[in-house]
Chain A
Amino acid sequence: MGTEKPKADLLPGTLDMLVLKILMRGHLHGYAIAQLIQQLSDDLLRVEEGSLYPALQRLELNGWIDGEWGLSANNRRARFYKLTTDGRKHLAEASARYRQVTGAVARIMGFA
């Protein structure tokens, strides 16, 4: 049941961080980002489209990613996102913070 609702279970800001991390791989469109998150988490995390697009808008508004129109693999117009310098910086900060938090949680839970 827990795996069905990744959004609710994620720590705040996690989705933003995941999207940024995925975009380290290069220019990707929304659908590809969602797919990649799902695959890389072994189907454990499923990004709801309802959260993905607001997140992309938010990231763009903050200047962390840039959107550009281009052609997809099967020649369809799609919007590709890429990481900006600010975005890289933010990702570094966010992942450091995330590591701290999860580390702390893990210590308490006795996982570490």
Chain B
Amino acid sequence: MVHLTRRSMLRGSLALAAAKTVGVPYVARAAATTATVWFAQGFVQDEDVALRKAVADYEKQSGNKIELSIIPFAPERQKIISALTSGVVPDMVDSNPGEILQLYGWQDRWVDVSDVVETQKSQFSETALLAAQAYNNVTKKRATYGVPLRAAVVPCHIWKSLVKKAGMKIEDIPKTWDAYFDFFKKVQDNLRKQGERKVYGLGFQVTANGVDPYNLFMAFLVAHGGQDIVTKDGKLHLDDPKVKEAAIKSAAYLGGAYRDGYVPPSAINWNDADDNNAFHAKLMVMDVDGTLSTEVAIKEKHPEWYYDEIVTHGAPGYPNDNAGKPIPSIVGYTNGLIPKGAKNVTVAKEFLKYFIQPKVIGEFVELGLGRWLPVMPSLAKSPFWQNPKDPHLKGYVQQGLLGPTRPDYYVFNLAMAEVRSQHVWSMAMIDVAKEGVKAEAAIEKAFKRIGEIFAKYPMA
């Protein structure tokens, strides 16, 4: 029997240490060509297939290795926050949630990627370039920390068949904001007269879960003239009468529609996917929801719904404001981010440079069925996006890339990201919808809270 002695243990330890000195350089050399990448799982499988293809093409071309993890949306978000908290980070992540770029940019946690963006700078939309920046509270400067990969806006999804059933025509949908949404109240009234007990006109997310309610409220705020709530310099303008009036009108319309029975009652407890499910179940005639996930989710299983029964925006396209002027849509972006402390910044940057080549990134969004928009206007002119037989893509790309756009407000001031995550607008909508509070009082309360949140993020 071999006895384990103190000496034999010491010998073993020395042998291990010696082996490490030989082995570690090999591992380090291997790591030099390998980058770890995390990306959120797609709503449809085609999105993941498109991403895997782009990665495989890059690996083939470069000889480098990408260790790709495709993770469901919510767990990926938790993984990213956990990684940044612990300091053990991957080489590249997508910005999930979108505001994470600004959130951790504030803390100086991202690698500057302006050199990557520079390679395609002339191709990107201005809004995309703006949204790739964040204010760094350590250096007291703005810098480019994100590489724009794809984009999304909040379109209107409509059951054409339900409009028809109500004895109305999709061509009759008015072009101005309030009238546009009022149209669906009439659709509901008509359907109720026909005995439809459980169909609602409007799918407003009057809830305090997820990102949908913030996006919905912001779309209404901008449509009602409140676009200057935060200016490019990061300053908050709650004292601007136009902003206040727009906020009150938005809370009154959204909360009022719920209170008056034009929104499914369960909307008050919806999470981000629930309105999609409710729309597919024909619980409401129309839904205002980010990306084309509503449409692409049913494209394969129900092509007749996709091509004949559902329409994006309807005949007038994305509605104008009440005065008839086009409204800029707020665009959210998925950016590629490299955390500080990443082991292989070089490969991560190389991969991103490859990924944002117009041909590669154009194919990436198109293979994903067009749930996400491209970030380069030139790509919007492809036959895929301009297909006249498709009732969704052309209107979607017009709204989010070719028409007037602006980045979300947390790009200008991080505080707006907390306004979003704290669901300040949601509480105002719910106060009006459920508690019987007047819109003026609900907005007064919301403005007070927003002021407190902005005070936490002073900018030089």
The finding on whether chains A and B are genuine partners in a shared complex, rather than unrelated, reads no
B interface residues (Cβ-Cβ under 8 A, vs A): none
A interface residues (Cβ-Cβ under 8 A, vs B): none
